Structure 1
């Protein structure tokens, strides 16, 4: 009898997580996971062949008390073995948590090649030139990884690499290409107080205010010096790494809350600064603000409107930047759409990118018309080439042509630009292409030798054009010869 009771109790315990699914709800956003809907047996009028796999995945994410069990397991591993139960989170010293995806930068491994770094800098340079042609000022900045600043809290088993990493290499290349880069690492490192969260990937409000002041100082814009503002420290911030590792933990992180009140307002419906698109207005006159810092302007111009391309580090930046501009537009959209600069009549344009995201500069062609270039070099035609080209008229546009493909690596130096030559019977037009892949999802594309450009054909003279690619090798220029054609009538 006792044996039967024991077996019954055992099976009841096994069934509790599944029976409890009807009343138990797991907030998967805490773990940075996308919540999938319960799969249907019939999909699009046919039997769903992935139904059983979908059911398996759904149950794995939703069975009752799942997050409580994950949290308990993680506490045991972190507390006793100083290890992580989540392969995306690193348990550091003194309660610090770090993001696993920053390890390549920290240990300086799997680095971008010289060619790829050159391409990253070229992408930013071309964007900057496109912004300035629209009459706005441009700045590119990189938010340092947390373990770049606070590596002393990393576990001893992870040794930092030596030599030059992607960020250092990119800074050197951007300097050579005269890219408008704003260094955040130096002012953040100088700050004695903690500027990043212990339990989160990102900077806290103190770090964000320093980043804001550094950017506005670069533009020569009068701004509030938040280091002189009064604030309180509150333990009210939910860290993303804490949620990923301990999904049912109520532990909060310290954050800075400034006593100054915000006067900006959201124009669109905003529930969180994590949103893809945020539009703000701030019409408050700030002439009487005591702590305004007078910067020496780089140009005699007004800094009223901002367009900022950002990633998750930009979440905390939004309030500080929105407070300083009459109009602000903040987007996480990629590839970068430079038509927004004109649409929102931007005076200042910022691209903020996390250090670990530097390789994404090679992912996607920024949407802007390719700059025309003057080209007077002697060019030799390659008799045989492995270069490829694809052309497409962009749907929904009035004469925008996309040209993309890959160059021939045998005829492309590490520091070679990529030029598109459109050779007609009467006209020769030259453009510089972005050295980035058109389709970020194309795993077969060679990021080092991909290229792409959008060309406004509405302003081109009528002609029958042959399209070629020109690259540089050992100081000489080579053309692929005919790869495509386009007719302008």
Structure 2
């Protein structure tokens, strides 16, 4: 009897041991993760080749064995709902009242907002001088130039960060707040009035008193926040193009719609469990829509470039280079221009500019990546 018991235990052990492999070959994958899995490439000769091949096989198996995603999902659920902590703290930081924030794996964003990864005054001047050179080059082509910084949610909702990270609570008695790279660059840019450098932080902080401007479970602003950003950008552009129509909040209708979780919830594989309370649908009250005429994938990032024809083709031609924050910007800006071109990359494509001959070039970049402006 005892022998049968031991044999049963051994059999169960081996079944559990080989279950992931059997599950993999049967294609049983109940959950999908947003992790990026890379394999080691097989190189070398002889013993080196064999060693690298075994490493490649091990790397692939570790990332793809059967049941792995289900186990990761259970780990994330346990940490988030039971232990009240982030299962991936380097990627997702848990804030107050259900808010999620990008962690330091995304451009050292936390360190930037607590003053541990600042921008030197010299680096800020280098960026400013480079932007000035870009502006002069565009000016020779009769093109106006604008730089739009999309703030991190950490800047707009700092009160929702954990207490130890709240900027406005650091040495509050002394009135001290850590200086962020955006603070340094904005201060430097104030000495370059000829450059249109647009800092949206104060405007969005004011706007959030009326309605949320960012998503709680995502790194991006919501449609309302994007509309506010577009309105500020348009105010700057109307200084050079006074015949452009202003973007006014009262010209739009707002509706609340249920929403799933955003990209940060997705990183934790909890998009269905950690949802937005609601999302904003923003529609113009009167017909004011552009017609999308072309989608291509010519940008260096592989994301599709997009082109619109506006309702009034006599208006200026716009070319916007930007990141994922421009996805919601595209709901609004094209309707105010004769033609619009949106390119998903953080560097200027001078051949595209020469070919399309826009009247205005806008560069949008998220706050945590503003150092990339030196390589524009």
Q: TM-score range by the shorter chain?
A: 0.7 to 0.9
Q: Match for 1:343 among 332, 339, 355? A: 355
C-alpha distance 357-42 of structure 1, shift in aligned 2 (>3 A): same
Q: Give the counterpart of 2:323 among 305, 311, 317.
A: 311
Structure 1 spans left out of the alignment, 5+ residues? 287-301, 367-489
Aligned residue in 2 for 1:325: 337
Work out which of the residue numbers 192, 197, 200 in structure 2 matches 1:181.
197
Q: Going by fraction, where is helix more abundant, 1 or 2?
A: 2
Cα distance change, pair 207–327 in 1 and its aligned pair in 2 (3 A): same
**Equivalent position of 2:294 in the other structure:** 267
Q: Which has the higher strand share?
A: 1
Q: TM-score if structure 2 supplies the norm length? A: 0.81
- Structure 2, unaligned stretches of length 5 or more? 171-176, 239-243
Alignment of 1:245 with 2:268, yes or no, is: yes
SS in 2 for 1:335: coil
Residue deviations 1:147-187, cap 9 Å, x none?
Answer: 11111111123343524321111011112123211221122
Task: Give the Cα–Cα distance (whole angstroms) in 1 for the partners of residues 339 and 54 of structure 2.
Answer: 50
- In structure 1, which of residues 320, 344, 358 is the aligned counterpart of residue 370 of structure 2? 358
2:232 corresponds to 1:225: no
- What residue number does 2:131 align with? 124
| Corresponding pairs, count | 342
Aligned-partner SS, 1:140: strand
Q: Among residues 246, 255, 260, which one is paired with 2:279 in the alignment?
A: 255
CA gap of 1:13–1:41, structure 2 versus 1, over 3 A, is farther
Name which of structure 1's ranges 230-239 and 18-27 shifts more when overlaid on structure 2.
18-27
**How far did residue 140 of structure 1 move?**
0.7
Does the CA contact (< 8 Å) of 2:295 and 2:306 recur in 1?
yes
Corresponding position of 1:215: 233
**Tell me, what secondary structure is at the counterpart of 1:56?**
helix
Q: Is the 8 A contact 1:68 1:248 kept in 2?
A: no
Q: Which moved more, 1:190-199 or 1:111-120?
A: 111-120
1:190 aligns with 2:217: no
User: 1: distance between equivalents of 2:31 and 2:317?
Assistant: 37
Shift of 1:11: 2.2
* Matches of 1:16 and 1:266, distance apart in 2: 51
Deviations 1:202-235 (A, max 9, x none): 1011111111111112111214424541122222
Task: Please say if 1:94 is aligned against 2:97.
Answer: yes
Contact persistence 1:105–1:166 (CA under 8 A): yes
- 1:104: Cα distance to partner? 1.8
How big is the shift at 1:3? Answer: 2.4
Measure how far apart 1:249 and its partner are.
Answer: 4.1
Q: 1:74: which partner in 2? A: 76
C-alpha change, 1:328 and 1:275, in structure 2 (3 Å) is farther
Which aligned pairs between 1:8-157 and structure 2 lie closer than 5 A? 8-22=11-25, 23-25=27-29, 31=34, 33-36=35-38, 47=49, 50-86=52-88, 87-101=90-104, 102-157=109-164
Deviation at 1:251, TM superposition (A): 4.1
Whether the aligned pair in 1 keeps the contact of 2:154 and 2:161 (CA below 8 Å) is yes
Q: Relative to structure 1, is the Cα distance of residues 151 and 314 closer, same or farther in structure 2, using a 3 angstrom cutoff?
A: same
Q: Is the 1:71–1:249 Cα contact (8 Å) retained in structure 2?
A: no
Bigger CA radius of gyration: 1
Task: Kindly indicate whether the alpha-carbon contact (under 8 Å) linking 1:279 and 1:327 is maintained by their aligned counterparts in 2.
Answer: no
Deviation at 1:107, TM superposition (A): 0.3
- Is 223-232 or 197-206 further displaced after alignment? 223-232
Aligned partner (choices 299, 309, 321) of residue 282 of structure 1: 309
CA 1:320–1:55 in structure 2 vs 1: closer, same or farther (change >3 Å)?
farther
Shift of 1:339: 3.6
> How far apart are residue 125 of structure 1 and its match?
1.8
Once the two structures are TM-superposed, the CA of residue 132 in structure 1 deviates from its matched residue by 1.9
- Deviating runs (4+, > 6 A) in structure 1? 37-43
1:415 is matched with none
Q: What SS does structure 2 have at the residue aligned with 1:336?
A: coil
Tell me if 1:202 matches 2:202: no
Deviations 1:104-160 (A, max 9, x none): 222011212221111122222222222222111111111111011111111123343
Preserved contact between residue 266 and residue 278 of structure 1 (Cα < 8 Å) = no
Pairs within 5 Å for 1:408-423: none
Which structure's relative contact order is higher, taking Cα pairs within 8 Å and 6+ residues apart?
Answer: 2
Q: Could you give the per-residue CA deviations for residues 396-450 of structure 1, whole angstroms, max 9, x where no partner exists?
A: xxxxxxxxxxxxxxxxxxxxxxxxxxxxxxxxxxxxxxxxxxxxxxxxxxxxxxx
Distance 1:17 1:340, change over 3 A: same
3-state SS of the aligned residue for 1:230? strand
Cα separation, 1, equivalents of 2:188 and 2:271:
45
Cα distance in 2 for residues equivalent to 1:323 and 1:27: 40
Say if 1:316 and 1:65 are closer, same or farther in 2 by CA, change over 3 A: farther
- In structure 2, distance between residues paired with 1:249 and 1:67: 16
